Amino acid sequence: MAYSVVFAALWVVASTIVAMLPMRLQFPPGIVLFASAPVLIIWLGFDYGWFFSVLALAGFVSMFRNPIRYYWRRWTGREVEQ
């Protein structure tokens, strides 16, 4: 098994653990996971092809849909609820 799959599985477990933390403790590890996801997705795509990279991207967007929506609204200048 390739290291990319092992690290992707560990990333999923870490994301699940972070999701169970209280909201005030989710931000620091969540940023690390959010920033490391593109590297893992590209690595998976390099090892297994673009199709698996697209599947990993779909999983990432599904797990981080609210932060992505928040930052998208913020970057495009739309109103953001506090």
pLDDT over 80 (residue 81): no
* 11-47 pLDDT tens trace: 999 999 998 999 899 989 989 998 999 999 999 999 9
Q: What is the pTM of this model?
A: 0.78
For residues 82 and 70, what is the distance between their CA atoms, to the nearest angstrom?
A: 10
Three-state secondary-structure class, residue 2? coil
Any idea what the Cα angle at residue 12 is, between residues 51 and 54, rounded to 5°?
A: 15
Which H/E stretch holds residue 50?
helix 50-63
Residue 55 has a pLDDT of 92
Residue 33 has a pLDDT of 92
* 42-78 pLDDT tens trace: 999 999 999 999 999 998 888 888 888 888 888 888 8
